[in-house]
Amino acid sequence: MTTYSLMSGGEKLVTADTFSVINPSTMVTVGESPKASIEDLNSIIKEARKAFTSWSTTPYEKRQQYINQIADTLETHSQELASIITQEQGKPIGAPLGSMFEMGGAVAWTRFTASLELPVKVLQDDENGHIELHRRPIGVVASITPWNWPVMIAIWHIIPAVLAGNTVVCKPSPYTPLSTLRMIELINRVLPKGVVNSIAGGDELGAAISDHIGIDKIVFTGSTDTGKKIMSSSSKSLKNLTLELGGNDAGIVLGDCNPDEIVPGLFWGAFINNGQTCAAMKRLYVHRSIYKEICDSLTAFAKSVKMGDGFADGAELGPIQNKMQFNIVNQLVKTSIQQGGEVLLGGPLDSEESLFFPVTFIAVEKNDNALVQHEQFGPALPIIPFDTVEEAILLANDNSAGLGGSVWSNDKQAAAKIAGQMECGTVWINKHGAIQPNAPFGGIKSSGLGVEFGEEGLLANTTIQCIFS
């Protein structure tokens, strides 16, 4: 079995303790992850602080070159990392939205971010004075990641932080630490010692990071509940925060849509990575005039999609990644049915022997249904009819989450008008969940604070210093 290590100051750090990581498709152990102690955390943060002095003064163009070398390294090792992702996360390796796709995203984000500039802005230059606005790195950035897209999300955190001159301590989810640990080992072949460090352990390690005075900023992707805890404990040392939290994205389908044209997009908008994606469509509102047609077409389409072990030929969907999440999805589906939801496909399971959960559609009339109000983060979609556009907008906004949303119509102007009234950070028209490295992404309401990606995402890893002369 491969040995995985933490990276601290450019060296492998051996921990006294380890924990097993399970393949959710087979329930067999994939490997042992190091389990860091508080002493390990202290010494890793010390290394990151030490490296900050020289990294923060390394010329920006030189840092861009390093980032491009990281992209090359990730590309060379894509197959190896994708294989680890499939083993520990479950998503199929070769599927259009599987783990090779995740690696493609990691490479693309790294290369695009390397091309961004951080120019000095001249705010004033006249007889009264000269004022320059400089962007400075913040210090040591902690990256805390979830289990759904482990490598890609870690890259989203690490690359802009490092490009801006910060050093990083990255803590992956205890469900999927191995691909991130290996990736950070590879990154350390490129970068100077201590610029990117890794740490692994349980949730309590995340809490210790957010409490630690040696950390200056936290970039966190995960649940809203954990985000609130991080915000609370970070307040002690007033850390800078970027929080990418839970979503409950609504899709609104207007009556002028042709079901055959939009059903593949609706399906993959909701079921990308088995619904275990922050910006997946999690509630589908359909105009009553085409409600039955859409439900029937979605059901037929879903039956053509193969679910299975991520290494099996043709598998497009894998299992739910862990038992905790499986139980959340199963219970929400059961409650939804008790509250009047009607099963169109799939349905709850009584046995928890495997983590494969069938693609499930539930026809729901009321917006206060549990499967509508709560983020399922799994392969179960409530489909709700509406009669007027005004009603659809009210229903979509009747939720504490505000990550993404979509509008589906042949009338792009009408769709854009509705988009402007949706309370969320991103709205897609005739698609759902597409993200790009040049477009800032982040949630409003309880879906988070701040943005990642693009120039705005890079700036979030800096502080402003104005120089008057």
390 is catalytic: no
Find the shortest distance in angstroms from Cβ 140 to ligand NAD: 16
| Helix/strand/coil for 242 | strand
Give the residue with the Cβ less far from ligand NAD, 145 or 274. 145
User: Cα dist. 43→8, 23, 40, 185, 198 in Å?
Assistant: 8, 31, 5, 17, 12
Find the shortest distance in angstroms from Cβ 465 to ligand NAD: 29
Give the residue with the Cβ less far from ligand NAD, 110 or 176. 176
Query: DSSP labels for 324-387?
Result: HHHHHHHHHHHHHHHTT-EEEE----S--SS-----EEEE---TTSHHHHS---SSEEEEEEES
Find the shortest distance in angstroms from Cβ 158 to ligand NAD: 14
Tokens of 117: 């500039």
CA separation for the pair 94, 76 (Å, rounded)? 17
Give φ, ψ of 439 to 5 degrees.
Answer: -115, 115
Q: Are 387 and 289 in contact (CB under 8 A)?
A: no
Which residue has the closest beta carbon to ligand NAD?
206
> Which has the closest alpha carbon to 389: 255, 249, 250, 265?
255
CA separation for the pair 90, 307 (Å, rounded)? 11
Residue 404, Cβ density class (10 Å: 0-12 exposed, 13-18 middle, ≥19 buried): buried
Find the shortest distance in angstroms from Cβ 6 to ligand NAD: 15
Longest dimension (CA), the chain: 78
Give the residue with the Cβ less far from ligand NAD, 360 or 447. 447
Find the shortest distance in angstroms from Cβ 28 to ligand NAD: 21
Give the residue with the Cβ less far from ligand NAD, 120 or 439. 439
Active-site pick, 47, 102, 244, 316:
244
Give φ, ψ of 259 to 5 degrees.
Answer: -50, -40
Binding site for ligand NAD (CB under 6 A): 144-148, 171, 173-174, 203, 206-207, 210, 221-223, 226, 229-230, 244-247, 278, 375, 377, 403, 443, 448
Find the shortest distance in angstroms from Cβ 52 to ligand NAD: 22
Active-site residues, by number, are: 244
